Structure 1
Amino acid sequence: MCKKKLFLVIIAFILPILLIFYHGTIDFSLISEWTKRLAELESNLEHYKSMYRIKQEDVIILSSFLGLLTNISINNTYFENLSSDTQHVIKNISNKLTAPSSVRLPSIQQSFLPHLIQDTDALRPAYLLSKGRKDVSIVLGIPSVKRIKQSYLISTLDNLLTNMNEEEQNETLIVVFIAETDFEYVQLVAKEIEIRFSHYVACGLIEILSPSPSYYPSWKNLKKTLNDPVERVKWRSKQNLDFAYMMAYSQSKGTFYVQLEDDILAKTGFITIIKNFALEKTVKKIPWFVLDFCQLGFIGKLFKSTDLSYLITYFQMFYNDQPVDWLLEHLIYTKICNWDKAMKACKAEKSKLWVHYKPSLFQHIGTTSSLKGKIQKLKDKQFGKINNFYPHSNLAAYVKTNIATYKSYTLEKAYKGDKTGNFEHPSDILDSNTTVEVAPLFSKNMTQNGGKNSDNFIVIGRFNKFGIAEGTIDKNIGLIKELRLHIHVDSENWIILSEVMIVGTQR
C-alpha cells in the first residue's frame, strides 16, 4: 500500500514538470517546491513505516500475553465457549511462543532498568496535558528541572513562540518535559505555562508531561563513574533517563525531533530553516544521523524520529556511565569509525553523519545550572548577536524615575529604545506589587476599579507574576497627561525595564 501511494505521488510530481516543458518555459521555483514536497513525503513515509513496525511489536507482545493466558486457562470453561476458529488461532499462537526452539531476546527492562518491572505504571506519565496533536513536521523537546535561583522556562517558550509564524506553529509540537517527581511542583509549573500560553496549550501546540517517580531507579545504587562526585553522577544519570523518556514520548508525534533546553534563545524563522535544511539532505540522498543547529552540548540537535530508537536504547544502556552528549559522540563513533584507521579519518567520516549548520540558530542564555553549585557561562560564538528591542518611535514626553539606575541603563534610553534588555535574568521583572496608573489631563472626580490615589492617579492595571500588566482605560477619563508605574514595596530582585513603547489612539 505504501509503495503504491509513493508511486502515485511520483506521478503527481512528474506531470507538472512535463506540462512546464510542454509550454516551452521552465519554472525553476515550481520545480524546487515540488522537489521539496517530494522529499517531505519521503521523510513522512519513512516515519510512518517506523510507526508501523512499533505496532507490529505491540502485536507480538499482545500475542505473548495471549499465549500465557492460553496456557493458564486452556481447560477453562471460558476457553471452551469460544468458537472453534478462535480456539485454533489461540492454540497456534501459544504453540509458537512455547516451542523449545523459540529464542527470547532480553528487554531493556530486564537487562538495564529492572526496577521498571516492579511497577506496571512506571512508564505512564504522572502528569500529562495534551490535545493529541500528531503528524507534525518537527517536535521540539524541552526538558525542565527545578533550579535553585531562577527559571528560564517561561522566557524560553515565549522566545520560541515569538520567532515562529502561524504556518510554522501549525507544523510544530513543543513538548515540555518537567523532569521532577514533586507532583505539587509539576502542577505549579504546568499551571504557569497554561496561564501564560493558554492559546497555544488549547490549540495543542504545547504539551506538558512529567514522569512517574517509579520511572527512576534508586539513586543510591548508582556506580561512581569517571571519578565524578556522587551528586554529579546522579545528575547526569538522571539527565540520560530524562532524554530517553522524552524521546520515547515524542517519537510517534512527528517526522523530525529537535532536542532543546529550557534556557535558550532562537532566531526568527528557525523552524523553516531547520525543515528546509533536513529536506535538502533528503533530496540529495545524503545520509545523516544528526543535524546540528547549535555548537553547545545537546542543544539544537535534530534527529529523524525513526532514528530515536538508537538513542533511547543507548541512553538507557549507559545512563550511569557517561554524560548524554558524550554518549551521542560514542554512538556516532560506533556507527561510522574504522578502528584500523587513524582518528583523523574517523573525524572526517563522523562529519558526514553529524552535519553542522552555520550560523547557529540557538543560543544558551542560562548561567544557573540545574546541578547545584555549577555555573555555566557557555555561549555559542556561531549564533551572533540579536536585538534586545524592536525599534519604535514614542510620543514626545518627559520621563523620570526615583529609582537608582545601573550604569548607562537609564529610563530615557528604555523609552527611546537606544540600549535595553537582558535575556539572562528572566526573574528581574515587575510583579504584582507594581500598578499601572494614569493621571488625567483634566481632574475629574472619578475612579476605575483599581481606585484613585490621593495625587489624582488612577490605577488601570497591575503586573502579574510573568511581568505582564493588562488593562483598559475608561474613555471617560479623557486625555492623559502622565503614565506611572508605581512599585509599592521593596523588590527582592533587580528590575530590568527593557523597553517602553507608547501607542496613542488615533483621533
Structure 2
Amino acid sequence: MGNTEVQPIDMYYYLPHLLGKPQGLNPAFKLSRGRTGVSIVMGIPTIARPTGGYLLQTISSLIMNLDEREKEDCLIIIFIAEMNNTAYVKSTAASIKSTFPLALASGLLEVIAPSPFYYPNLDNIKQTHGDSKERTKWRTKQNLDYAFLMLYCRGRGRYYVQLEDDVVTKPGYLTTMQKFVQNQKTSDWLLLEFSQLGFIGKLFKTYNLPWVVEFFLMFFKDKPIDWLLDNIFYVKYCSPEHDMKHCARMTAEYRRRYKPSLFQHIGVQSSLKGKVQKLKDKDFRSRVGKTVNYINPNAEVSTTLGVYKRFSFDKVYMGENFFWATQPQRGDVIYIKFLPPVAIDKYVFRSGAPEHPGDKFYNTTVEILPEDHVNKKEGVLDNMSHSHQYRMTDDLYLVVGEFIGTSGVAEGMVNRTVGKVAVLRLVVQYPSASWVILNEVR
C-alpha cells in the first residue's frame, strides 16, 4: 500500500471508487519511526466508542509485559480508523504520545489513520444475515479496517498478530508466541491462535497476508471478519466428499491453538453503539488467585463489604483465590484479627486484576491496633512509646499506610516500636463507583 509498500493485490478491482484517488491507499496521519525487520508486528484497529474506550489500557498492558529484549524485536501499530473525525484522531494520537513517549521515540509504537478516500459509500451496503442497517455498515467498515491494517503491516516484520483495542495480556507473551512458532514441527500452518475469542491473538506469516486480505475483500460486504476467517479454512482444506469431522481434523492441521490463552478481552461496551460485549476467554489464566509461596499468620477475618459470590476475603488471605466485593462505601472495613497477636515488619495489599483493572481500592487506609492498645481508652497511653509517630484514630488504631493514588497497592513497613499487633484493618474513607478485587494479601 502506498508509495513505500509493494502493492500486493489489485485494490482497485475490489474498491473501484479508489480509481484516480491513489492517496486513499496511504495513511492520512502517521506517527512513525519506520521500524522494520522485527519478528512480530501487532496491529490494533480502534474507533471512537460511545462510552469511552480501553485503548490506553491495552497499549499499557502490551508494553509493560515486554522485557527490554522483546521491545527491540516487535512493533505495535495503532490504527485509528476514523476517516472523517480529524479531531478524534488528533486527540487520541496526542493521548498516546503523552502517555507513551518513550515507546513512540524508540519505534516500538506507531500510530496511523486512514484517508477518507479509502472507504466506499457505506450507506448503500445491502443488509445480510438479518443484521440491521447500522450493524451491517459497522461490520463492513470493520472488514475494510482490517484489510488496510494488514496490508500496511505486511512489510514490517516476519509475523503479524491481529489484536483488538480492548485486551490485556501476560508478561512474556511475545517470547511465548515466538517459541510456539519455533516449536511447530512443520511450517505449513496458516494460523496460530493465542486466544479463542473472535479475531484476538491471531498470528499469520506476513507473506500470506496479501491473499488473506484478498479473500476478505471478495466478501467484505457479506459477512463479519471472524466468519470470513473460518470460511478461508473451509474453502482451502475441507472437501464436500467428506463429513464435518473430517473437515475439523484437516483444519486443525493448519489452524493451531496455544493454551492457555495469552490475551483476554476486557471491553464491555462495543464500538457498535448499544452493543454490550461480555465475552471472556475461559482459557486465559489470570495471575489473580495465583498459588502463593508464603503463609499469613493465623487470624480471624471479617468485612462489612458486600462479597460477590464465592470470592470471600478468607480465600485471598489463605492464598487460595481472590477477594471480590461490590462498591465500597465510606466506613466499610476489612478486619484481620491475629490469633495470637503478631509482630508485623511489612504488609502488602494488591488490588485490581487484568480483566477488571478498575476494581481497585482507592482512598483506603491501612490501620493497626497494637496489642498494648487493646482494652485501653484514649488518654490512658502515657507509658507507651510514640517514637513511631503514626497518626492515631479515636479508637486507638494507628494509621500506618494507604492505597496510593490509582495504583491499587498499599505496601509499607511497620515501625518496630509498635510491638505486637492485635488487629489490622483496611478502612474505606470515601465511596467508590467501582467494585474491588484484592488479589494479594501478605
> Please, what TM-score do these two structures have when normalized by structure 1?
0.61
Larger-Rg structure: 1
Q: 1:367·1:424 contact (CA, 8 Å) conserved in 2?
A: no
Sequence identity, in percent? 40
Shift in Å, 1:193: 1.7
Q: 2:313·2:322 contact (CA, 8 Å) conserved in 1?
A: no
Q: Paired residue for 1:229?
A: 132
Q: 1:293·1:358 contact (CA, 8 Å) conserved in 2?
A: yes
Which residue of the other structure, out of 25, 29, 37, is the alignment partner of 1:135? Answer: 37
1:337–1:157: structure 2 CA closer, same or farther, 3 Å change rule?
Answer: same
Q: Paired residue for 1:120?
A: 22
Which residue of the other structure, out of 245, 253, 276, is the alignment partner of 1:352? Answer: 253
Letter in 2 for 1:159: S
Q: 2:353·2:437 contact (CA, 8 Å) conserved in 1?
A: no
Q: Indicate the SS of the match to 2:19.
A: helix
Structure 2: 5+ residue stretches without partners: 295-303, 324-351, 366-386, 391-403, 409-417, 419-425
Q: Paired residue for 1:255?
A: 158
Cα distance in 2 for residues equivalent to 1:413 and 1:195: 40
Which whole-Å deviations, capped at 9, do the CAs of 1:366-400 have from their partners, x for residues lacking one?
A: 2221112222221222223322799899xxxxxxx
Cα distance in 2 for residues equivalent to 1:254 and 1:152: 26
Which residue of the other structure, out of 147, 167, 170, is the alignment partner of 1:264? Answer: 167
Q: Paired residue for 1:68?
A: none
Q: Indicate the SS of the match to 1:338.
A: coil
Shift in Å, 1:199: 1.5
Shift in Å, 1:442: 7.3
Which residue of the other structure, out of 431, 434, 442, is the alignment partner of 1:494? Answer: 434
Shift in Å, 1:210: 1.3
Higher relative strand content: 2
Q: Paired residue for 2:147?
A: 244
Q: Paired residue for 1:275?
A: 178
Cα distance in 2 for residues equivalent to 1:422 and 1:137: 29
Cα distance in 2 for residues equivalent to 1:338 and 1:206: 42
> Please, what TM-score do these two structures have when normalized by structure 2?
0.69
Q: 1:422·1:496 contact (CA, 8 Å) conserved in 2?
A: no
Letter in 2 for 1:287: D
1:412–1:117: structure 2 CA closer, same or farther, 3 Å change rule?
Answer: farther
Shift in Å, 1:223: 1.0
Q: Paired residue for 2:412?
A: none
Q: 1:359·1:382 contact (CA, 8 Å) conserved in 2?
A: yes
Q: Indicate the SS of the match to 2:23.
A: coil
Cα distance in 2 for residues equivalent to 1:487 and 1:122: 54
Cα distance in 2 for residues equivalent to 1:342 and 1:494: 50
Structure 1: 5+ residue stretches without partners: 1-53, 59-105, 394-403, 444-461, 470-480, 503-507
* 1:308 aligned onto 2:248: no
Q: 2:55·2:166 contact (CA, 8 Å) conserved in 1?
A: yes
Q: 2:353·2:439 contact (CA, 8 Å) conserved in 1?
A: no
1:407–1:112: structure 2 CA closer, same or farther, 3 Å change rule?
Answer: same
1:392–1:276: structure 2 CA closer, same or farther, 3 Å change rule?
Answer: closer
Shift in Å, 1:441: 7.7
Aligned-CA RMSD value = 4.5
Q: Paired residue for 1:289?
A: 190
Cα distance in 1 for residues equivalent to 2:94 and 2:238: 47
Q: Paired residue for 2:100?
A: 197
Letter in 2 for 1:226: H
Cα distance in 1 for residues equivalent to 2:316 and 2:80: 35
Q: Indicate the SS of the match to 1:177.
A: strand
Which whole-Å deviations, capped at 9, do the CAs of 1:283-331 have from their partners, x for residues lacking one?
A: x334110011111111111100000011211222211101101111111
Q: 2:288·2:322 contact (CA, 8 Å) conserved in 1?
A: no
Q: Paired residue for 1:34?
A: none
Q: Paired residue for 2:422?
A: none
Cα distance in 2 for residues equivalent to 1:389 and 1:195: 34
* 1:157 aligned onto 2:97: no
Higher relative helix content: 1
1:119–1:430: structure 2 CA closer, same or farther, 3 Å change rule?
Answer: farther
Letter in 2 for 1:178: I
Q: Indicate the SS of the match to 1:371.
A: coil
Q: Indicate the SS of the match to 1:257.
A: strand
